[in-house]
Structure 1
């Protein structure tokens, strides 16, 4: 079993303890649910912006993005290019809307617009999305720390998850935001440090990296053809726009932060701070992946152990040396991309700096998970428990419920992460799950905000149609060959796009049809 030097362990332990102490510090302020969920509307816009940026910059970004760039190209960077347009729409329409309503839950107004079913449907989609997000983040942090320490992924998730649960339960949304401000700085510095160490250790430096990347088409943003069956530039652009609009416009993680701002202008400003930070740092992580590719092209012998481990994972126990060698030779860079960053950290980063970078990766995971826990607890407590189970609950009961559900969702996120052990790509599994759960929710929100003519019946019918389309697109690939003509031919990233447009357009058509019938 590998073991970290004492200096690195000390850095990690100090970081974890400091995060827990932050929770204890802010726990003194949590006298009511408004403070726990909104921080009493006293957070400056720049802090909220860094907090949102930290939530975007998860361990999926730290590990999945370099892994993708290493294994293929920069096609997924197009996701970040779609962010400014989504942020503009959200800051112009969604943020003022939520600030006017004053409702901490992003989904309360759906009941006023379409009825209880709409609110419950959106909450269910959100909670499933959060479990998928938290699970993938837990998996990502465990994957990297396992390579560094040798401890089991399950044990790592439990230790890190316990620390996250403690400071999130104690401190509420204010602790989440201010720890994320620190985490945003730590993880950004960690990324710059990693890139510096790669460039420093490769003969020829940045010039050599660019030369190898160009030769092997590592900087390609994808094909510009109108082909929606593959991950082209347009498929990722459409996916990025709809997912980012979903995040900025209707995701409780972000909507709840808008309510913590001192005013609407500060809330809108926070979105642009996030975009200004995330887009260039996303570029940085893709550059790290391409740099790692160049580094191991120059030093292929340094990656043999990674390929050997990846080969063993694809073979039965006690496979012969010949089988292992043949499998290693057949591997593509995409088959072991997620293992590259941890491997580089284990073998190339000096003592002391490893602890700092591990802390950066941990902060990337902790910021996303803590915000997901707080948002999930808020939505469940207000939209489910208080709405259907105990509408007359007092402030003390609500606070107790928020504490309990925050911890429960943290534990559920850990369990989801454990179930994800063995998947090929963190980024792929997260994108697929988020597309499935988010598509219907965004379509319903847009229908409610844009179309004043759409009533309850049309919205319900349109949502049912959209859900059926999403289910078909997701699971039709498993149909037998005899029914191959019924399979979805579009790329999986188009699920959120198609699902959203299906619900929105179906609602408009049904509303127009009803209006026409009424006039005849």
Structure 2
């Protein structure tokens, strides 16, 4: 955040703030987009508000990455406050870096990335940091970017290893895990999940598009199934864990089909990435609900609690 503010200050002190008015005249400051395809246009109002809301619900309501942080709060009220404050901070953060983008647009004279010898939009800010920032500022800013990336990666590995130990290994064993055993298994799980991260990352070789949109699209593939399984356990008294697991796999498969087809086969967007979580939720509820009809009556409170967990 400090680095983004410093970049804005450098641009304003060097070329003034006239770029903001020019950006407004060029339509760069438009916040709401009412036109466009509501199914495939990822910048339209309906997609952003409805699809984005479900996306946020999945990322902050069912993703272990965030849930493990909420569980660190001392009470439900503190967890609720944390979610609300997170929303405010993220809004400010996005606003700052959108302003950084406008400032860089003005700094480089509205030049396209290709005119600057770049292959993608994401390279503009690093170019500015390396070539334009004063000595003594570029290094700490790059270090901050790397630190932010490392913190996200470590949190993801921690969440996955924790889930592996508590939800897989501990439940599969007849005897309880000791702290030492849990720590040892958790370390190996972290290594294995790290290798699992590397494997699919080698698939993405294209320089086209924005890395943020790509990352959110990949996350949306599983978010829908995750949130859908969570909702299924709350609203469907018949559903069992097996029903949720099968529905989750099918929901992920459906979203993965759209992602692969759109990006690598036809090269045309059918469904905007914001719709992936909602699509996954609908598939999970439909499939899980259909499978739950096999069972008679509502399941016990103990079984329902197990499914929700």
Where on the TM-score scale, by shorter chain, does this alignment land: which range? 0.7 to 0.9
- Matched residue, 1:503: 284
Mapping for residues 107-146 of structure 1, pairs under 5 Å: none
- Matched residue, 1:195: 8
C-alpha spacing 1:229/1:411, structure 2 compared with 1 (3 Å): closer
Mapped pair 1:268 → 2:80: yes
The answer as to whether partners of 1:228 and 1:491 remain within 8 angstroms in 2 is yes
Mapped pair 1:356 → 2:140: yes
CA distance in 2, matches of 1:515, 1:488: 42
CA distance in 1, matches of 2:185, 2:295: 43
Mapping for residues 15-414 of structure 1, pairs under 5 Å: 188-202=1-15, 205-206=16-17, 208-221=18-31, 223-225=33-35, 227-231=38-42, 232-297=44-109, 307-310=116-119, 336-388=120-172, 392-410=176-194, 412-413=196-197
Higher relative contact order (Cα pairs below 8 Å, separated by 6+ residues)? 1
Between Structure 1 and Structure 2, the one with more helix by share is 1
CA distance in 1, matches of 2:227, 2:187: 29
The answer as to whether partners of 1:454 and 1:507 remain within 8 angstroms in 2 is yes
- Deviation of residue 455 (structure 1)? 4.7
- Deviation of residue 305 (structure 1)? 8.9
The answer as to whether partners of 1:369 and 1:410 remain within 8 angstroms in 2 is no
What TM-score results when the alignment is normalised by the length of structure 1? 0.50
C-alpha spacing 1:212/1:515, structure 2 compared with 1 (3 Å): farther
Q: Which deviations, in whole Å up to 9, do the C-alpha atoms of 1:375-429 show, x marking residues without a partner?
A: 1111122222333367543221111222333344345545655654544321122
CA distance in 1, matches of 2:242, 2:199: 38
SS for the counterpart of 1:297 is: coil
Aligned residues: 293
The answer as to whether partners of 2:238 and 2:295 remain within 8 angstroms in 1 is no
- Matched residue, 1:490: 271
CA distance in 1, matches of 2:287, 2:113: 53
C-alpha spacing 1:376/1:399, structure 2 compared with 1 (3 Å): same
Q: Which deviations, in whole Å up to 9, do the C-alpha atoms of 1:134-156 show, x marking residues without a partner?
A: xxxxxxxxxxxxxxxxxxxxxxx
C-alpha spacing 1:346/1:479, structure 2 compared with 1 (3 Å): closer
- Deviation of residue 344 (structure 1)? 0.4
SS for the counterpart of 1:228 is: coil
C-alpha spacing 1:402/1:469, structure 2 compared with 1 (3 Å): closer
- Deviation of residue 309 (structure 1)? 4.8
- Of 434-443 and 414-423, deviating more is 414-423
Find 1:432's aligned residue among 217, 221, 225: 217
- Matched residue, 1:474: 259
The answer as to whether partners of 1:443 and 1:501 remain within 8 angstroms in 2 is yes
CA distance in 1, matches of 2:105, 2:96: 14
CA distance in 2, matches of 1:343, 1:274: 30
CA RMSD in angstroms comes to 3.3
Mapped pair 1:441 → 2:226: yes
- Deviation of residue 191 (structure 1)? 1.8
Q: Which deviations, in whole Å up to 9, do the C-alpha atoms of 1:306-337 show, x marking residues without a partner?
A: 73353xxxxxxxxxxxxxxxxxxxxxxxxx31
- Deviation of residue 373 (structure 1)? 1.7
The answer as to whether partners of 1:229 and 1:491 remain within 8 angstroms in 2 is yes
CA distance in 2, matches of 1:477, 1:273: 35
Q: Which deviations, in whole Å up to 9, do the C-alpha atoms of 1:107-147 show, x marking residues without a partner?
A: xxxxxxxxxxxxxxxxxxxxxxxxxxxxxxxxxxxxxxxxx
- Deviation of residue 430 (structure 1)? 0.5
- Deviation of residue 352 (structure 1)? 0.7
CA distance in 1, matches of 2:13, 2:263: 47
